[in-house]
Amino acid sequence: MHVQINPVGNMNLLSQLEVNRLQNSATCDLYPLFRNCVLAVLNAGCTTDDAEAIYQRYSDFTIQVLRRERGIKLDLNHPPQDAFVDGKIIKGVQEQISAVLRDILFTHDRYCYMADELTSVTDQITHSVFDILRNANAILPSTVPNLITCWGGHSINQEEYKYTKEVGYQLGLRGFNICTGCGPGAMKGPMKGATLGHGKQRINDGRYIGLTEPSIIAAEPPNPIVNELVIMPDIEKRLEAFVRLSHGIVIFPGGAGTSEELLYILGILLNNKNQGQKLPIILTGPASAAQYFIEIDNFIGATLGEKAQQLYTIIVDDPEFVAKTLKSKLDDVIAYRKQTGDGYHFNWSIHIDEEFQHPFAPTHENMAELSLNLSMETAPLAANLRKAFSGIVAGNVKSEGINAIRKQGVFKISGQAEIMSLMDKLLKSFVKQQRMKLPGSEYIPCYEIVEEQD
């Protein structure tokens, strides 16, 4: 199949200088990244979370940026045919491809010259997060501040998926907009439920924001409900974008990736500079997931302490109460930002240390060198635990991680015996509950837990 499509949105009208830069970017070292992200969008709805398998299946897929008198066209060769109906590309897929063009190629030229600065100065990293979100029109100052981020696993059972939809429905009835990691499972359910809630309330401009990053997008391609796709440069900027955009966070059952997200936000809020911050966090799921939350809560209590446990609320099997709680807490969030002079739609005042901002490369060497000891301060320990779970996610579903495991064997994660025992117990529960890969897939661990001897 061979087809040409037009970009849409703010990419449908470009200057000749911008066209030249896009063509240059599309033919340089950035091309594989651009091509793989477009392929992931075209392949939405696939039933695999193995990025490497997707790339191999469509190894003959190519995309070119062609100059036209009014801008550009995108020339697609051998694309996945599920993205087309009667030979015409699905409108939502076309919009998401335009988002890839904007976030991968268009912003590359803006930031490539300051790459060194963006990995060394906290304020400039935050500025880059803001600038990318602003360029994607994800920050809308004239709208009501009511964005709820929903985190949770892409591999959840049907009962848990239905529960995420019900929570989304209750949030939608109360006018909340939804932001997720944009993939399937607990990322899709809240959006799907919110569309029904918005429909009943005759809300026609509901926002379903999907935040992703290049290395995860193939394993978790954008679900069909996402109407605002933003591709952040790396996982750390993606996580910072979630936190700074949100007025509340809901966490559903999940695996290593969900643990990474929880540890990230807890590590930030444990910083003394953030003591006054108002950002409600609710962990929730159906009654059948009660044991999951007990295990997570026990792990947090044993590693980060009671202070960390006080930063979130666990609500089991009560979607309406989840939504009502967030609605009641929203007034506190808005009042705090008004009092401190902070932005309603982008939280500038929350402090994020550099250890939570610098990209962590999950190499075998870096994973082995992580310091995991209960004698550490809680925020640095949370940062290192977050990195450990991030590496497991990479080994499970990311192309570079899968390749590294194939070539060098499993990651070895070592630390104090007590903390390693806790981590091993939590990860084994994820495996038993089929939270590490899609249901029906055989999970082969990409890691080995090693207890350091005193």
Residue 251's DSSP bridge partners are 151, 283
Q: Structural domain of residue 330, as residue ranges?
A: 130-340
If you write DSSP's letter for every residue of 114-180 in order, what string do you get?
A: GHHHHTT-HHHHHHHHHHHHHHTT---TTS---EEEEE--SS--HHHHHHHHHHHHHHHHTT-EEEE
In degrees and rounded to multiples of 5, residue 411 shows phi and psi of: -65, 140
Q: Is 189:195 a contact under the CB 8 Å cutoff? A: no
For each of the chain's 454 residues, which pLDDT tens digit applies?
888 988 887 777 676 666 776 666 666 777 888 888 899 888 876 666 666 777 788 888 988 888 776 678 889 999 988 889 988 999 999 999 999 888 887 777 666 555 555 445 677 889 889 989 998 999 999 899 999 999 999 889 999 999 999 999 999 999 999 999 999 999 999 999 999 999 999 999 999 999 999 888 877 889 999 999 999 999 999 999 999 999 999 999 999 999 999 999 999 999 999 999 999 999 999 999 999 999 999 999 999 999 999 999 999 999 999 999 999 999 999 999 999 999 999 999 999 998 999 999 999 999 999 999 999 999 999 999 999 999 999 998 888 888 899 999 999 999 999 999 999 999 999 988 888 877 667 788 899 998 876 5
In a domain, 348, yes or no: no
In degrees and rounded to multiples of 5, residue 56 shows phi and psi of: -70, -40
Q: Is 408:395 a contact under the CB 8 Å cutoff? A: no
In a domain, 347, yes or no: no
Q: Is 375:410 a contact under the CB 8 Å cutoff? A: no
In a domain, 205, yes or no: yes
- 437 vs 444: CA distance, rounded Å: 9
Give residue for tokens 């602003």.
134
pTM beyond 0.85: the answer is yes
For Cα atoms 49, 54, 55, give the angle at the middle one, nearest 5 degrees. 135
In this structure, what CATH number is given to the domain that contains residue 110? 3.30.1850.10
Residues 297 and 199 in one domain: yes
Residues 376 and 330 in one domain: no
Residues 112 and 218 in one domain: no
Give residue for tokens 């609605």.
327
In a domain, 346, yes or no: no
Provide the 8-state DSSP code for 60.
T
Q: Give the three-state DSSP class for 196.
A: helix
User: What is the biggest distance separating any 2 CA atoms in the chain, rounded to whole angstroms?
Assistant: 70
**Which one-letter amino acid corresponds to residue 33?**
L
In a domain, 281, yes or no: yes
